[in-house]
């Protein structure tokens, strides 16, 4: 796995902080110290130097975000260091260059620090033979389950066997069999025959999560991974072990036998389950989402994400999604309509509303762009606004106490109070007293906030946009079907003020369309705003209008996002 | 250049000799061996290696050999194959094979009988057989489902029966449970 942690080699002449090594004959300057798995400076290793030189060293047990174990031997390379004379001075070749003494023994690149003027060789016949040998040993007891193995297609054993292995097996003996289909915990299945004993999973759960739950038992060919007896492997990060397991030993129960990975289209997106905003890839095929996997972002989630967020995608494909534009008939009952008619009716209704008689309850699950447009509408209507808080329990790793993905965005746009939801009692009060006659709700169920159905029935207009049915959508006068984040593009601002964008993975259902499109048309009718020319233009306009976004543009966000310019007021 | 047409002679203008010549040829063939085939009552014996319609097979124990690896679905040039994988629910019947397609469809209107599916299959579960004339009353009828493909494919004598062998080996080494597939 590539990582962005290896500091780029410094420009200019090598200072005391850096040293020169040669990788396959090409000289490269690397820092003396590079970040280790915790980000602390540690002597730069050969594998880091090779990566900086753009040379791939195959590896199984090494992972840039885990302590080095050095047990798989896949990364063996040959190397040489400057030869020293009896006076401990480097011996020079006749042409004045350093004489290099090639080490008689190879070294594992993942755990060997580089030294000045070291030469690393990764393409010699010896290295080729060692790789073949390591793979041959890994495969002697391997079941070759590829046709039924969920890892096939993203399996390092398959990939390296093709790239560096031998074509045929010389193993005539019977293979050692181990337990298969082992129920390791609520979300994982273990196949011990496929395990190559790299210990990545053990180190992850022990050193990253702090739950020392996995270990090896027995010895030699019978060496077997297992969980602590009587205690299932169950913490909120277990599924990351399925990602880092280089083979199909650990696989997800949720994704088990659902789809082969080579059919999945990967779309960069974000987790919406809390304010951390873990980066992820949506794996989808033909408008069905099959899985989320974490996407590396050093500034947010490293390589990991929590199980709860990862498994929170089923609602996107729910059958009861709202897919129709609906208006309440004057004589009662629903009338299915189309977007132009619905938007014209909503625009007219809002234009007639007296200033101060409108309340707007937004959702901190909406994108920055949508919240921006809502804030423009709220200003025009003189509306009382707020968003709904979703408090939860934070943990020591990624999960944040704010379970909304975009509370920061809602507050920066001026839509939500600080703390989030502080305005809700005032809105409720307005509804009760009859001062508020029109209620606009985006993506929330207000009946859960204490707004009685009878109260809603009394209002002039209840305009609701949502994705899934709720008591509020049932009581709406105008229902605007919206999109899940996976069906549109947009940005969220996480709790630390990092603006990140997400892409569209699947098509919206039925007549549903992205809220930002709906809101663009409402804002055009009510506030005279122009067309923004797509989400890029809308984001850029927002960045011009909202001081905290100063200097940002859609394209500047890149894949990893960018920090807000202004410090955001902390949530009490 | 104009080539003048030669006027027909009296013998030629009579026509009868030409008609008679035709009759002679017909008569000669009348007593020869017949070459036409009474299709569809009569059919070709297709040569070995002929690539007809692809069907799924069972092994001699009646086990559906396909494990739903979806390689054929991936390789199929006209995208004629559509497989529904079994999903995570455990299926006790499949034993150590773990996987079985929930549904397997081949759209015979799309299939070009290329044989890639047979070539790519790691389980020897799909074979191009000898059927070359497929017909149906509707398009839907031409999409063959799993049951139909298995019925048409019949039994394939498996020399190795690797899954059965694996289960036996594991059981002999005391690895429990060592389920063997039940058909
Ligand atoms: S772990 Fe890799 S090599 Fe082993 S069965 Fe699975 S896909 Fe095949
Ligand atoms: S289960 Fe996977 S990650 Fe864990 S030791 Fe085995 S191969 Fe490595
Ligand atoms: S024979 Fe060719 S076209 Fe027909 S199903 Fe197989 S791979 Fe597809
Ligand atoms: S390649 Fe063979 S085993 Fe795989 S899905 Fe196709 S028929 Fe089944
Ligand atoms: S990657 Fe270096 S020993 Fe495993």
Asked if the peptide bond before residue B40 counts as cis, ω within 30 degrees of 0, the response is: yes
pLDDT at B35: 85
Q: Please indicate whether, in this complex, the C-beta atoms of A146 and B122 are within 8 angstroms of each other.
A: yes
Q: Does A143 touch chain B (CB under 8 A)?
A: yes
Of A177, A255, A263, the CB nearest to B170: A177
Which pLDDT tens digit goes with each residue over A548-560? 999 999 999 999 9
What class is the A141-168+175-317 domain? alpha beta
Quote the distance between the C-alpha of residue A131 and its chain's center.
33
Q: Please indicate whether, in this complex, the C-beta atoms of A177 and B67 are within 8 angstroms of each other.
A: no
Centre of ligand 2 from the C-alpha of residue A78, in Å: 26
A334 and A473 in contact (C-beta within 8 Å)?
A: no
Q: Does B82 touch chain A (CB under 8 A)?
A: no
A61: helix, strand or coil: coil
Residue appearing with tokens 């790519």: B120
Centre of ligand 4 from the C-alpha of residue B74, in Å: 10
| Structure-block tokens of residue B75 | 């390789």
CB atoms closer than 10 angstroms to residue A219 = 8
Cα dihedral A4→A113→A118→A156 (10° resolution): -60
CA distance A351 to A76: 72
Bridge partners (DSSP) of residue A80 are A102, A119
- Give the residues surrounding ligand 4 with Cβ less than 6 Å away: A 147; B 66-72, 83, 120-121, 123, 125-126
Query: What is the number of CB-based contacts under 8 A between chain A and chain B?
Result: 56
Length in residues, chain B = 183
pLDDT at A389: 96
Residue of B nearest to A149 (CA): B69
| Structure-block tokens of residue B4 | 């003048």
**Residues of A with Cβ-Cβ distance to B87 under 8 angstroms:** 256-258
Which pLDDT tens digit goes with each residue over B78-110? 999 999 999 999 888 898 999 999 999 999 999
Distance from CA of A256 to the nearest CA of B (A): 5
Q: Does B124 touch chain A (CB under 8 A)?
A: no
Task: Supply the range of the domain harboring residue B93.
Answer: 54-158
> A16 Cβ partners below 8 Å, 6+ apart?
A32
Q: Does B83 touch chain A (CB under 8 A)?
A: no
- Give the residues surrounding ligand 3 with Cβ less than 6 Å away: B 54, 75-78, 80-81, 106, 111-117, 128
DSSP 8-state class, residue A183: E
A280 lines ligand 5 (CB under 6 A): no
pLDDT at B175: 87
A417 and A569 in contact (C-beta within 8 Å)?
A: no
A85 and A46 in contact (C-beta within 8 Å)?
A: no
| Residue B73 located in a structural domain | yes
Label the pairing between strands A76-82 and A119-121.
Answer: antiparallel
| Residue B24 located in a structural domain | no
Residue appearing with tokens 């594998």: A47
Q: Which atom of ligand 5 is nearest to the CA of A111?
A: 2
DSSP 8-state class, residue A374: H
Q: Does B9 touch chain A (CB under 8 A)?
A: no
| Structure-block tokens of residue B117 | 């599916």
B45: helix, strand or coil: coil
CA distance A3 to A62: 12
Q: Does B96 touch chain A (CB under 8 A)?
A: yes
Asked if the peptide bond before residue A424 counts as cis, ω within 30 degrees of 0, the response is: no
| Residue B25 located in a structural domain | no
CA distance B157 to B161: 9
Of B70, B86, B97, the CB nearest to A260: B70
**Residues of B with Cβ-Cβ distance to A261 under 8 angstroms:** none
A62 lines ligand 5 (CB under 6 A): yes
Q: Please indicate whether, in this complex, the C-beta atoms of B122 and A147 are within 8 angstroms of each other.
A: yes
What class is the A325-484+510-529 domain? alpha beta
Centre of ligand 5 from the C-alpha of residue A61, in Å: 5
pLDDT at A569: 64
Of A177, A254, A257, the CB nearest to B85: A257
Q: Please indicate whether, in this complex, the C-beta atoms of B74 and A263 are within 8 angstroms of each other.
A: yes
| Residue B35 located in a structural domain | no
| Structure-block tokens of residue B66 | 């396909």
> B73 Cβ partners below 8 Å, 6+ apart?
A263, B79, B81, B82, B83
Question: Residue B81 is part of a domain; what is its CATH number?
Answer: 3.30.70.3270
**Residues of B with Cβ-Cβ distance to A147 under 8 angstroms:** 67, 69, 71, 99, 122-123
Residue of A nearest to B92 (CA): A181
Q: Does B120 touch chain A (CB under 8 A)?
A: no
* Level-2 CATH architecture, domain A18-136: Roll (3.10)
| Structure-block tokens of residue A169 | 């097996």
pTM: 0.90
User: What is the domain partition of chain A in residue ranges?
Assistant: 18-136, 141-168+175-317, 325-484+510-529
Domain count, chain B: 1
Centre of ligand 4 from the C-alpha of residue B120, in Å: 8
> A459 Cβ partners below 8 Å, 6+ apart?
A431, A436, A437, A438, A439, A477
| Residue B177 located in a structural domain | no
Q: Does B98 touch chain A (CB under 8 A)?
A: yes
A277: helix, strand or coil: coil
Q: Which of B103, B116, B125 minimizes the C-alpha distance to B77? A: B116
Nearest residue CA, atom 3 of ligand 4? B66
Burial of A412 from C-beta contacts in 10 A (0-12 / 13-18 / 19+): buried
CA distance A441 to A446: 8
A203 and A69 in contact (C-beta within 8 Å)?
A: yes
Residue of B nearest to A189 (CA): B88
Q: Does B175 touch chain A (CB under 8 A)?
A: yes
CA distance A360 to A431: 11
Q: Which of A136, A154, A155 to mutate to test the pocket of ligand 1 (most atoms within 8 A of CB)?
A: A155
| Residue B29 located in a structural domain | no
- Ligand approaching nearest to the C-alpha of A191: 2
| Residue B17 located in a structural domain | no
Q: Which helix (H) or strand (E) holds A77?
A: strand A76-82
Q: Does B117 touch chain A (CB under 8 A)?
A: no
Which pLDDT tens digit goes with each residue over B149-168? 999 999 999 999 999 999 99
Where on the phi/psi map is residue B58: left (φ > 0), alpha (ψ -120 to 50), or beta?
beta
pLDDT at B177: 57
Distance from CA of B82 to the nearest CA of A (A): 12
Put simply, the chain A residues between 235 and 254 with a CB less than 8 A from any chain B CB are 253-254
Residue of A nearest to B74 (CA): A263
Cα within 13 Å of Cα(A523), Cβ side: 22
> A376 Cβ partners below 8 Å, 6+ apart?
A523, A527, A529
CA distance A159 to A58: 10
Centre of ligand 5 from the C-alpha of residue A137, in Å: 14
- Ligand approaching nearest to the C-alpha of B54: 3
CA distance A509 to A317: 9
pLDDT at A351: 95
Q: Does A265 touch chain B (CB under 8 A)?
A: no
Which pLDDT tens digit goes with each residue over B23-38? 999 999 989 998 888 8
CA distance A53 to A42: 19
What b-and-e string marks burial along A367-396, b requiring 16 or more CB atoms within 10 Å of the CB?
A: bbbbbbbbbbbbebbebbbbbbbbeeebee
CA distance A139 to A157: 9
pLDDT at A288: 97
Q: What is the pLDDT along chain A (572 residues), one digit of tens a residue?
A: 444 444 444 444 444 589 999 999 999 999 999 999 999 999 999 999 999 999 999 999 999 999 999 999 999 999 999 999 999 999 999 998 999 999 999 999 999 999 999 999 999 999 999 999 999 999 999 999 999 999 999 999 999 999 999 989 999 999 999 999 999 999 999 999 999 999 999 999 999 999 999 999 999 999 999 999 999 999 999 999 999 999 999 999 999 999 999 999 999 999 999 999 999 999 999 999 999 999 999 999 999 999 999 999 999 999 999 999 999 987 778 899 999 999 999 999 999 999 889 999 999 999 999 999 999 999 999 999 999 999 999 999 999 999 999 999 999 999 999 899 999 999 999 999 999 999 999 999 999 999 999 999 899 999 999 999 999 999 999 999 999 999 999 999 999 999 999 999 999 999 999 999 999 999 999 999 888 999 999 999 999 999 999 999 999 999 999 999 877 666 65
A166 and A135 in contact (C-beta within 8 Å)?
A: yes
Bridge partners (DSSP) of residue A216 are A225
């Amino acid at each position: 796995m590539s990582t962005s942690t290896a500091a780029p080699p410094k420009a200019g002449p090598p200072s005391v902080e850096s040293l020169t090594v040669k990788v396959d004959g090409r000289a490269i300057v690397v820092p003396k110290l590079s970040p280790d798995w915790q980000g602390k400076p540690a002597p730069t290793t050969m594998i880091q130097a090779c990566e900086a030189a753009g040379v791939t060293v195959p590896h199984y047990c090494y992972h840039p975000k885990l302590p080095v174990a050095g047990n798989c031997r896949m990364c063996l390379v040959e190397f040489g260091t400057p030869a020293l004379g009896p006076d401990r001075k480097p011996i020079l070749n006749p042409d004045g260059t350093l004489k290099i003494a090639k080490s008689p023994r190879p070294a594992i690149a993942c755990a060997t620090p580089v030294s000045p003027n070291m030469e690393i060789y990764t393409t010699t016949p010896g290295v080729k033979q060692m790789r073949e040998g390591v793979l041959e040993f890994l495969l002697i007891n391997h079941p070759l389950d590829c046709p039924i193995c969920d890892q096939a297609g993203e399996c390092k054993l398959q990939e390296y066997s093709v790239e560096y292995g031998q074509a045929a097996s010389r193993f005539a003996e019977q293979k050692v069999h181990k337990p298969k289909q082992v129920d390791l915990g609520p979300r994982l299945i273990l196949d011990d025959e496929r395990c190559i004993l790299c210990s990545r999973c053990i180190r992850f759960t022990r050193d990253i999560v702090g739950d020392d739950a996995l270990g090896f038992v027995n010895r030699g060919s019978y060496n077997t991974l297992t969980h602590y007896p009587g205690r299932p492997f169950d913490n909120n990060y277990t599924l990351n072990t399925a990602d880092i397991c280089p083979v199909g030993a650990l696989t997800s129960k949720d994704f088990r036998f659902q789809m082969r990975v080579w059919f999945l289209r990967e779309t960069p997106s974000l987790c919406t389950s809390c304010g951390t905003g873990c980066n992820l890839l949506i794996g989808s095929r033909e408008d069905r989402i099959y899985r989320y996997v974490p996407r590396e972002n050093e500034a947010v989630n490293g390589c990991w994400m929590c199980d709860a967020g990862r498994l929170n995608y089923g609602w996107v494909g729910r059958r009861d999604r709202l897919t129709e534009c609906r208006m309440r008939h004057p004589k009662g009952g629903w009338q299915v309509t189309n977007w132009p008619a619905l938007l014209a009716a909503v625009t007219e209704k809002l234009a007639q509303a007296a200033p101060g008689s409108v309340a707007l309850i937004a959702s901190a699950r909406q994108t920055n762009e949508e919240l921006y447009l809502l804030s423009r509408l709220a200003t025009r209507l003189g509306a009382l606004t707020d968003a709904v808080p979703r408090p939860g329990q934070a943990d020591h790793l990624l999960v944040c106490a704010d379970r909304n993905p975009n509370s920061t965005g809602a507050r920066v746009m001026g839509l939500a109070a600080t703390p989030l939801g502080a305005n809700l009692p005032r809105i409720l009060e307005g509804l009760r007293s009859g001062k508020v006659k029109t209620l606009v709700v985006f993506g929330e169920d207000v009946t859960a906030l204490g707004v009685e159905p009878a109260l809603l029935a009394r209002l002039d207009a209840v305009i609701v946009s949502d994705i899934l049915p709720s008591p509020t959508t049932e009581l709406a006068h105008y229902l605007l079907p919206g999109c899940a984040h996976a069906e549109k593009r947009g940005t969220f601002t996480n709790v630390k003020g990092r603006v990140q964008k997400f892409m569209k993975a699947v098509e919206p259902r039925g007549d549903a369309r992205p809220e930002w499109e709906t809101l663009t048309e409402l804002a055009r009718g009510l506030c005279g705003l122009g067309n923004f020319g797509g989400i890029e233009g809308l984001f850029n306009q927002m960045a011009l209008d909202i001081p905290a976004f100063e200097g940002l543009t859609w394209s500047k966000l890149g894949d990893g996002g960018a920090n807000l310019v202004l410090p955001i007021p902390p949530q009490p | 250049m104009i080539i003048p047409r030669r006027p027909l002679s009296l013998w030629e203008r009579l026509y009868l000799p030409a008609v008679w010549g035709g009759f002679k040829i017909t008569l000669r063939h009348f007593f020869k061996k017949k070459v036409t085939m009474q299709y569809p009552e009569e059919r070709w014996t297709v040569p070995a290696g002929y690539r007809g319609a692809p069907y799924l097979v069972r092994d001699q124990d009646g086990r559906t050999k396909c494990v739903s690896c979806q390689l054929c679905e991936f390789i199929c040039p006209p995208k004629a194959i559509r497989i529904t994988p079994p999903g995570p629910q455990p299926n006790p019947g499949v034993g150590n094979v773990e996987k079985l397609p929930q549904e397997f469809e081949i759209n015979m209107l799309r299939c070009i009988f290329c044989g890639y599916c047979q070539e790519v299959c790691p389980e020897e579960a799909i074979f191009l057989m000898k059927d070359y004339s497929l017909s149906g009353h509707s398009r839907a009828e031409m999409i063959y489902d799993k049951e139909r493909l298995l019925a048409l494919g019949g039994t394939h004598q498996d020399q190795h029966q690797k899954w059965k062998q694996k289960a036996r080996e594991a059981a002999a080494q005391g690895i429990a449970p060592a389920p063997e597939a039940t058909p």
